[in-house]
Structure 1
Amino acid sequence: MAFTELDSWLSARAAADQFSGVVLVRSGDRTLFSGAYGWASRRWPVPNTLDTRFDTASITKLFTAVAALRLVDEGRLDLDASIGGFVDLADTAISPDVTVRHLLTHTSGIGDDADEEAGENYEDLWVDKPVYSVVRTRDHLPNFVHKPPNFAPGQGCRYCNVGYILVGLVIESITGVPYRDHIKEAVFARARMSTSDFFDRRDAVRDVAEGWDPVEDDAGRITGWRQNIFSYPPIGSPDGGAHVTASDLVRFLRALRGGELLSAERTAQFLTPQVLHHREDGDEVWYGFGLEFTLGPDGAVRNYYKDGGNAGVSGVARHYPAEDLDVVVLSNAQRGGLAVIREVDRRIRIS
């Protein structure tokens, strides 16, 4: 693999304040590349290490999807059951025809709290609403339940963060356990993700990266750094915000493929593209149950992945089946992470 100069390239980007985070590439039990760069905190400063736990943003959706499909395996959930059987959505804009399958595959049509494809900004939700008022899963409901739908359930496809909020409420309704506690038992423990958790950013916890983004002047020069403490709620939810190490994220991917988290039938379902989405910018993406898929010209899966981004956060967890490679990039800055993800992917493709 073409990783011989990757460390110097990443180090140069970190020195120029263009990347802060970790990169890990593994094939089976072999580590092909690993490196930690930049600062876990810019206030002190504290450097990132391979043991640093990063906010994963939307990568968390994978854990939510696995937890839901485990309930299907246990006979406690039907993917085609109405969401109304689990969550009281009377007097809202959400149709009773929305199912759990719709929510997991972004085909529900419900209005998102911040519609990324429409150019809405998630940070704007917190201009007039304190972030600390949204801690429980159901605290997110007022942000979206009265927004008009984009289309009837099953009649289209559009990425929707809050669909996973509703899946989290389904999980809580069935198990009687708060979402985060259930994920720690049903997913993290089973996948041996021993250091992963949902950390409240108001708490002092070792080895947890803080999210920082640059403040720039009109000429694009960095004039300072701003922490993301007012950009979204202080603790993670079903659509984003779990904290993991790069190694734990690889463990999750391997446990998933190895049938340690789901039955053989459900594992195959999870690793199969479900719905093709034509984005408004002209791009196409295949959605699965949380995962997204890149197909080759022959229709075979070239790789599958889940990425995530938010203020002070960016990252990806990706698997290349033909090469048997797991790739994780986690960053505690929104800026710079995507360029690193693309560069690692480019080096894999040309090798």
Structure 2
Amino acid sequence: MITTRRAALKMLGATSIATTAGLAVQAAGSSPVAADTGFPSGRVPKGLRPGGELDRLIADMAARDVFSGSVLITYRGRTVLSRTYGMADKARAVPNGPDTLFGLASIAKLFTAVSVAQLAQRGKLAYYDTIGQHVDGFAAEIADQVTIHHLLTHTSGLGDPFGDPGFWDAARTWTSVQQVMDGTGEFVRKETLAFPPGAGSQYSNSAYHVLAEIVARASGQEYHDYVREHVFRAAGMGSADFYTLPQLREDRRIAHGYYRPEGAADRIDNLDEQIFLPGAFASCAQLERFAHALWEEKLLNPAYTQLTLSPKLPGLPPPGPTQLTVFTGYGPGATLAGDHWSYGHNGGSSIGGVAELMFYPDHGYVTVIVSNYEMESIRGIPGLARKLIVEQQ
């Protein structure tokens, strides 16, 4: 998702998957526009079906104008629950729908991670390669010590360009994708490490920018072009793409982000606070196709699929009592509940827009939750969906 100065340091992607799943309920307004037909019953818990506990929670939150967006639950590729509420563009009275494209924010890191794995599978790079083997301009202590493994697992010691002094002043002058990539890279190259590579863990947008540069160098394609061809198109994701600020203003398929400024009664459109930065946008159905393509080994061979999904180091557990064990993988978060694994990522902005993708290969489910309201707008939905999937099997 395109982000701004106020939102950059409050990225939901910086929290663990399980933490997001454990958030408590809040509130929303509008009515559902998608019906559910032909969903499988069998092993599907009643709470996940239309009219069930999850459906009622979402409807209540929408009725109180806390949630605006879409939710899709599938079981073995078939729709169990599909709901859409709210407006994509309030000024033009464009409603959200099942085909609306929502900002994905840090979910886009999954696309970067898959791209890295594809190139590793082809022998174009290795996870133990240092970044200096692929890109130039870094100080020796970074170029010669930080590896692709460190970048993928947020153990590089790099930080976040959005918080670097002068970033936003420079970013507001960029008017092309190449300017964004080059300009962001200049700020990342000025960073110093917060800790020696591998000696700590710190969520890092800078690390994933470097990975994008490595994808471009190793593949011979501009990063966004590579992802379009080898991830979006390969997974059958249709109109999913990287969209820039001018496209957000004009394309009626794209949901605008809305947030309520402190002390204000009403939410406002966040377009005036955006920068050109191209962000990944997709519909619920397109994210669901990506999840299946990944776990069904359509994007990577079996060995590299397992390598991408498997846990690499422990993550932070959700607050309060829990039976979940959370790990960082090569892109996806991996969560162990009992003896079953689930995988996914989340992302969002404090000024409007939040998304979570989770898939449960052992159970056959995919859950996609996207909203064009503040990060808090999905509180309670991921946790209840997980509970119904995991505990009632």
State the TM-score bracket (shorter-chain normalisation). 0.7 to 0.9
Aligned Cα RMSD in Å? 2.6
Please list every run of 5 or more consecutive structure 1 residues that lacks an aligned counterpart in the other structure.
115-119
Deviations 1:215-256 (A, max 9, x none): 241xxxx522233335553343xxxx3111111111111111
Deviations 1:158-178 (A, max 9, x none): 221211100100111122221
* Matching of residue 106 in structure 1 with residue 106 in structure 2: no
Which has the larger displacement, 336-345 or 279-288?
A: 279-288
Specify whether residues 301 and 5 from structure 1 end up closer, same or farther in structure 2 by C-alpha distance, changes over 3 A only: closer
* Matching of residue 57 in structure 1 with residue 97 in structure 2: no
Shift of 1:11: 2.5
* Matching of residue 345 in structure 1 with residue 386 in structure 2: yes
Instruction: Provide the identity percentage.
Output: 31
Shift of 1:140: 1.1
Q: Tell me which amino acid in the other structure corresponds to 2:275.
A: P
Counterparts of 1:56 and 1:194, CA distance in 2: 15
Deviations 1:78-131 (A, max 9, x none): 1111101221124487342111111111111112235xxxxx6x99953x3443
Q: Give runs of aligned pairs for residues 108-123 of structure 1, distance below 5 A.
A: 108-114=156-162
Q: Is the 8 A contact 2:171 2:183 kept in 1?
A: no
Q: Is the 8 A contact 2:346 2:356 kept in 1?
A: yes
Which has the larger displacement, 17-26 or 78-87?
A: 78-87
1:246 to 284, 289, 303: 284
> In the alignment, what sits opposite 1:274?
312
Counterparts of 1:44 and 1:313, CA distance in 2: 19
> In the alignment, what sits opposite 1:162?
206
Q: Secondary structure at the match of 1:173?
A: helix
Q: Is the 8 A contact 2:94 2:252 kept in 1?
A: no
Deviations 1:277-335 (A, max 9, x none): 358989974100110121235xx443211111113211111012332110000111223
* Matching of residue 192 in structure 1 with residue 236 in structure 2: yes
Q: TM-score, normalised on structure 2?
A: 0.78
Specify whether residues 14 and 48 from structure 1 end up closer, same or farther in structure 2 by C-alpha distance, changes over 3 A only: same
Q: Tell me which amino acid in the other structure corresponds to 2:378.
A: G
Please list every run of 5 or more consecutive structure 2 residues that lacks an aligned counterpart in the other structure.
1-44
Q: TM-score, normalised on structure 1?
A: 0.87
Q: Tell me which amino acid in the other structure corresponds to 1:54.
A: F
Counterparts of 1:229 and 1:148, CA distance in 2: 32
* Matching of residue 141 in structure 1 with residue 185 in structure 2: yes
Q: Secondary structure at the match of 2:386?
A: helix
> In the alignment, what sits opposite 1:202?
246
Shift of 1:349: 4.1
> In the alignment, what sits opposite 1:224?
266
Q: Give runs of aligned pairs for residues 13-52 of structure 1, distance below 5 A.
A: 13-52=61-100
Counterparts of 1:188 and 1:13, CA distance in 2: 31
Deviations 1:56-78 (A, max 9, x none): 00000011110111011111111
Specify whether residues 323 and 285 from structure 1 end up closer, same or farther in structure 2 by C-alpha distance, changes over 3 A only: closer
Q: Secondary structure at the match of 2:261?
A: strand
2:352 to 312, 319, 324: 312
Specify whether residues 124 and 195 from structure 1 end up closer, same or farther in structure 2 by C-alpha distance, changes over 3 A only: same
Q: Secondary structure at the match of 2:260?
A: strand
Q: Is the 8 A contact 1:25 1:33 kept in 2?
A: yes
Q: Tell me which amino acid in the other structure corresponds to 2:270.
A: N
Counterparts of 1:112 and 1:246, CA distance in 2: 28
Counterparts of 1:201 and 1:89, CA distance in 2: 29
